[in-house]
């Protein structure tokens, strides 16, 4: 398994706050009557989806500033004002709903701004089809990174200060820090000495077990947006495929 070989620092920053509830609880909070819970749910949604939405737009050819402005407008008009999340249904992909709404919003913005741009887009329909595929891949990759970052953060919180503390620190020193900060990857003998582990063989086992815990956490994170076991497996395979596409 290679999905943990490269974890940029910004991924951890994206998951500075672990979820207390499931994604569907987030949607329910964002569409409920309690203003405090509604704001919390909307804040969680913004934290998860802003970066993937900007990546989707950049892959369609928008500049960084344009993508940021469009997503800000999308969040305000479509998510907050029109209440897109109220149309979300269990068992259906929330990601697909957001992509479709963002695509429609982008088109509406362009149509309001200039008629000429509308004609150019119609003439370039064939090119747009290719760009659409690239945009969805960019969105999915950013989404997969977010899912993995959440899984890593949850595992870290559970491990530190527990009986798995030393195992996490070995995993962090051996796998995470070289991937995040580009530090030299130490040998198992070295990490065993540093954290009081009885030998390189035991350190190897602990790192492997911690990797499996991260993968289990990834499955849990993915399951929070799916309704059935079949949906979980399909979505997990999709996330892993996105990560493998970039050698993660």
Which mean pLDDT values do the consecutive 10-residue runs of the chain (248 residues) have?
41 35 71 86 87 91 93 90 84 83 89 66 61 76 82 91 92 84 88 92 93 88 77 78 64
DSSP SS3 for 64: helix
Give the pLDDT confidence score for residue 15 in this predicted structure: 37
d(CA 248, CA 241): 10
Residue 104 phi/psi, 5° resolution?
A: -65, -40
Helix axes 229-245, 125-159, angle to 10 degrees: 100
Question: Domain spans of the chain?
Answer: 9-245
End-to-end CA distance of the chain: 9
d(CA 75, CA 25): 19
Give the pLDDT confidence score for residue 178 in this predicted structure: 83
d(CA 175, CA 6): 9
| Buried b or exposed e, range 15-37, using 16+ CB within 10 angstroms | beeebeeebeebbbbbbeeeeeb
Give the pLDDT confidence score for residue 44 in this predicted structure: 86
Task: Scan for tokens 């050819």, then name that residue.
Answer: 61
Give the pLDDT confidence score for residue 10 in this predicted structure: 39
Nearest alpha-carbon partner for 28 in 237, 224, 248, 240: 224
Give the pLDDT confidence score for residue 148 in this predicted structure: 80
pTM of this prediction exceeds 0.85:
no
């Amino acid at each position: 398994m290679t999905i943990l070989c490269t974890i940029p620092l910004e991924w951890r920053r994206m998951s500075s706050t672990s979820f207390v509830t499931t994604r569907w609880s987030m949607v329910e909070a964002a569409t409920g009557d309690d203003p405090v819970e509604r704001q919390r749910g909307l804040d969680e949604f913004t934290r998860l989806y802003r970066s993937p939405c900007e990546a989707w737009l950049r892959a369609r050819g928008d500049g960084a500033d344009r993508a940021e402005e469009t997503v800000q407008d999308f969040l305000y008009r479509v998510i907050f004002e029109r209440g897109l999340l109220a149309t979300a249904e269990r068992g259906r992909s929330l990601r697909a709903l957001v992509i479709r709404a963002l695509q429609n919003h982008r088109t509406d913005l362009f149509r309001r701004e200039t008629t000429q741009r509308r004609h150019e887009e119609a003439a370039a329909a064939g090119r747009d089809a290719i760009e659409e595929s690239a945009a969805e891949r960019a969105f999915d990759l950013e989404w997969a990174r977010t899912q993995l970052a959440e899984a890593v953060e949850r595992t870290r919180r559970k491990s530190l200060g527990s009986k798995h503390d030393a195992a996490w620190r070995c995993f962090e020193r051996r796998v995470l820090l070289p991937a995040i900060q580009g530090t030299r990857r130490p040998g198992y003998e070295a990490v065993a000495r540093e954290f009081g582990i009885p030998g390189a063989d035991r350190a190897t086992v602990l790192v492997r077990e911690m990797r499996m815990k991260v993968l289990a956490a990834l499955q849990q994170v993915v399951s929070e947006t799916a309704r059935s076991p079949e949906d979980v497996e399909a979505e997990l395979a999709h996330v892993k495929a996105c990560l493998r596409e970039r050698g993660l």
